[in-house]
Every structure is written in structure tokens, then in C-alpha cells.
Structure 1
Amino acid sequence: MTAAKAPALPARAGLGLKPEHYETILTDRPDVGFFEVHAENYMGAGGPPHRYLEAIAELYPLSLHGVGLSIGAAQGLDRAHLKRLRALIERYKPQSFSEHLAWSTHDTGFLNDLLPLPYTPETLARVIDHVDETQQALGQRLLLENPSTYVLFKDSTIDEIDFLAEIARRTGCGLLLDVNNVTVSAVNHRLDATAYIDRFPMEFVGEIHLAGYDETVDDAGDRLLIDAHGTAVKSDVIALYQHTLQRCGPCPTLIEWDNDVPDFATLFAEARRADAMLAAEAAGRNSRQIQAA
């Protein structure tokens, strides 16, 4: 079922909204394209978080990013959670709502992680049903994010890109392309990250994420990347992002930095770097169009 699309985010760089930066943002009003909030952090009825978010939402576009819906779980979706999400969307009218292609619930338990799925016809059908249910319950189009993974399933019979594309085609949802996740998964599974981007269905992409990763080695001594969100975006992710922009054109791009959060000036510098790349891609496309005319 195709859900209504919210007004689009600007094709600029955005930042995750952190409580330690509330005052700086409201005082300085920095030139940031949008702010993203994790939905679960604002599910209380009131208090300072909502007071600050209301003030910031009057100044900037908002992206609402869920981390607890458990779209890939074998059990049904949590209807109470969907109602809380609906209330947030009605309250703040975000330009974008996104969730992960992952699961984090089992029976009555909640796991503090975003766990991968086997890509099979059975899980495809289940995720499609859950995306349909979510979009109907929220009255807004969902962007589904590609995962970062550390294991692959022997049971998988569908390629990840084909899996995501089929969900988008059959539900009308969009996709959130996390370029850092592509890098992490490609290194961990000895795959070609550029080839992944070249095959990705860009016509469904409504937002891009960038983040920093941590690096260690596995038992065999090979590189192992961790999707840590605790550092600046790495140079290989930036290079892959530039390649992505060449394929999809300028697209709203979030800088994720959720752990060891730095001062706002450091985050803002990351946003300005992405903004410069977005502007350069837009200018290059305009120049090519003029030359072709």
C-alpha cells in the first residue's frame, strides 16, 4: 500500500539533534539543512525534550528516525509503539520517517541491537506486510534503511539489493541508503562496496546516512569494521558517498554521530563538508545540462 509522501527534506546535510546542543542551536541558529531525532527519545508526553524539539522544529525541517519498530521480527508489530509513532508524526509533522531493515524483539523481550535477517521469500513477505502495516498506521511513507552486518545467513536466497528493491516496489516505501553501512558490510564480507552502489535502486532513495566506523580484526586477522557512530566520517566512506552522488544526484544527507558526541562546531564542520560535496554535484549537473542544451 502506497502511503502519502511528506514534503521532502532539502538536498542538504543534516545533523542528529543532541540534548547537549539544544541551546547552541537555538542561540546561534546554524545553517544546517535539517535535524534528525530518534523517535524513541521523544515518546514521553512532555518535559524539556519536547520543549526544545518544538522550538527547533519551528526553525528547521525534521527527520524522524525509528530504532525500535523491529520491522523484520517474526512476531507482529507492536501496535502501542505504532500509536506512539503516529502521535509524534502528528505533533511534529516531520519531512521524513525512517526505520531499519532489522529486528530487535522476540516474544516479550527487547534486544538492544539491530539484528540482521535471512533474505528469503518468507522474510520478504513478512517485511512487506510490516511495512504496509506501518505506513497505513502512520499515514506517512517509510524509508527503509539498508543494514550493517557482521554475519551472513546460509539460508539467504535473495540478494540484499534485490530484497530492498522488491520491498520498495511492492509497498511504495522509499529507501534510506546508509553509505557507512555499505562500507562496513562490504569490508566484513569481502564484497565490492562500489559495485553495491552501482546496483542500488537510486529511484527509491529519499535520504542518505554517513557515519564513522571503528576498526578491529577478526579471528583470522582480517579487517572487521563496527558501525559505531562515534567518530568523524572516514575517508573511504566519503569517497563512496561522492560516487553515490554521481549516481543519484544531490540527496538529503545525515551525519550520524551518536556516541562520544563532540562539540557542535565539530559536527557542523562535518555537515559543511557534506554540503560542499552536494553543492559541487549540483553545480556539475547544471553545467552538463547547459552544455548539452
Structure 2
Amino acid sequence: MTASTTHATTLPARAGMGLKPEHYEIILASRPDVGFFEVHAENYMGAGGPPHRYLEAITELYPLSLHGVGLSIGAAHALDKAHLKRLRNLIDRYRPQSFSEHLAWSTHETGFLNDLLPLPYTQETLARVIDHVDETQQALGRRLLLENPSTYVLFTDSTIDEIDFLASIAQRTGCGLLLDVNNVMVSAVNHRLDAAIYIDRFPVELVGEIHLAGYDETVDDAGDRLLIDAHGTAVKSDVVALYKHTLTRSGPLPTLIEWDNDVPDFATLHAEAARADAMLAAETLHRSQIRAA
């Protein structure tokens, strides 16, 4: 997909929030200071009803990020053409400033698995994902951001480093990347890697959006830490520190607070976004001071 065919608009370099039905009314009544809202595409694939009425009203006031969780872009079989058509209809209807999907698979034959599963990083899977990203961008008529996964196992047949795998997809397709900093922390702890080194190697010039979330923690059979990408708590302090480190490399970028389970009241979620906004503003100020020096 060439640059001339990509969708040019972008989200503001602010903190955004996941749009939850329990918060529709308070958002419309109070019009809080939020950079953007993000929704899961699959939740709005019906033709009408209250969810669409609220989303239409809110997108009149705020930029929109559309995040897909069901395309199964890493699957070993063809993409679901009906799903792509539903996505295109949704994009044409709301004209979101950003669309993203996961580097994962969630379908097998005729079944849909309620999880985002990892894939081995091989030349075969690389070629397949490149084809699927190309097909998706052509079908949707816009650029896609591909998200790095959180992982709990490593494949013995993987022959390509994850960052190189993502960078190759972006280089071959013209897609962008979505950098989920919580996913980096989860994978790094689970596989005994250095999260900061991962960020230092990541091609941040390709990143169009950052995600932050809370993780759950347990221990594995050996008694070592095991992190779960749970999206049910505030962002943990180590992820906040890693995010600050990321901003020193990338500069301010649109940043979503993901809180999808045990959703708190609006004020609690908004406070998380305000904390990220403060970090973005601090990095902006720091860079302006360096330029003025």
C-alpha cells in the first residue's frame, strides 16, 4: 500500500480513554477534557440502536480511534471478507482518526476463539501477515496500525526477532505500529527480558499510538513472576516508568488508557488519562526547552 492511499488524519498527541457504555451520559453532560476516545470495532458492527446514537453524539465532540480485536490477522487461513466489509462500513460511517489491529490470531476453521493468540515469528508467518495487512489496508482504504502482542510462551521454531518481525511488516506494507507499553512489560517479565532495551530498539518513528493498561500478577510453576495483560486496574508504576522512557525516544504521541474489565467510575478513569496527559505535557515542555537552549 503506497503512502498516497493512506488516511492522513491523526489523533492529537494527548491521552485518550476507552469509551464505555456506562460513561456515555456523563461524557455528553460534562464534556470532559479528553484527547480522544477509542472503541472496539466489533462492539459497533450492528446497524443501529443506542450504542450508535451515543457514539455519533460523542464523535461530534471528540476524535475517535477504532481498535479491532476480531480480524485475526495472523491466522493461517484467509481473512473473513464479511468482517472486512463490516469494518469498512464502520470506518466509512465514523471516519476515525486511527484504526488498529493486533498481531495475533483468534479464529480456527469456522470457530472464533475469545482470545488474542500469539504466532511463531518465521518467514512463513511473516509472508502471511504481510499479505493480510496489505489486503486489510486495500479493503479499508486506509493505513492500519499493528499492535505488538503480550505473550506467555515462546515458539521454538521462531527465527525472527519480534521487533524485526513488526518492522518488516511495516516496511513491506506501509502500515504503522501501535506500541502497547503494558504488553512490552508483560512479555519482558514473562520471558526474563529487559523491557527498556526492547523500547530502545523499537522503531518509534513508525508508531501512531501508544496503549497503557494495568496487568495482574501471579507466579508460574517455578515460582517466578507471571504477568497477565488483564486491563482491569490502574497502570502499574513500572509501566508508567517505561512509558516515560518511551516518550524520551518517541516524543509525545496519542496515548490510550485501556481499562476494559472491572471498569471504574468515570472520575477514576479520567484521572488515569490526566496522569498520562501530564507526562505528555512534561515531555513537550522538555523538548521545547532543549530547542530554545
TM-score, normalised by the number of residues in structure 2: 0.99
Tell me the secondary structure at the aligned position of residue 250 of structure 1. Answer: coil
- Conserved in 2, the CA contact under 8 Å of 1:230 and 1:259? yes
In the TM superposition, what is the alpha-carbon distance from 1:4 to its structure 2 partner?
1.0
Superposed counterparts of 1:125-144, under 5 Å: 125-144=127-146
CA distance in 2, matches of 1:202, 1:165: 10
Equivalent residue for 2:238, pick from 236, 239, 247: 236
Identity of aligned residues (%): 85
1:44 counterpart residue number? 46
Aligned to 2:77: 75
The aligned counterpart of 1:286 is 288
Counterparts of 1:161 and 1:193 in 2: how far apart (Å)?
Answer: 12
| 2:154 matched residue in structure 1 | 152
2:182 is aligned with 1:180: yes
Aligned pairs, number = 291
RMSD: 0.5
Alignment correspondent of 1:94: 96
8 Å Cα contact 1:71-1:103 kept in structure 2: yes
Pairs within 5 Å for 1:1-293: 1-2=1-2, 3-291=5-293
Q: Which 4+ stretches in 1 moved above 3 angstroms?
A: none
Q: Unpaired segments of 5 or more residues in structure 1?
A: none
- Kept in 2: contact 1:143–1:176 (CA 8 A): yes
1:164-186 alpha-carbon deviations (Å, 9 max, x no partner) = 00000110000000000000000
Q: Which amino acid aligns with 2:167?
A: A
Please say if residues 175 and 206 of structure 1, whose CA atoms lie closer than 8 Å, have aligned partners that are also in contact. yes
**Deviation per CA, 1:231-290, whole angstroms, max 9, x where unpaired?**
000000000000000000000000000000000000000000000000000000000001
CA contact (8 A) 1:6 1:94 kept: no
What amino acid maps onto 2:237 in structure 1? S
- The secondary structure found in structure 2 opposite 1:63 is strand
**Does the 8 Å CA contact 1:6/1:96 hold for their aligned counterparts?**
no
- Distance in 2 separating the partners of 1:132 and 1:67: 18
Kept after mapping to 2: 8 A contact 1:206/1:252: yes
SS of residue in 2 equivalent to 1:208: strand
| AA partner of residue 144 (structure 2) | L
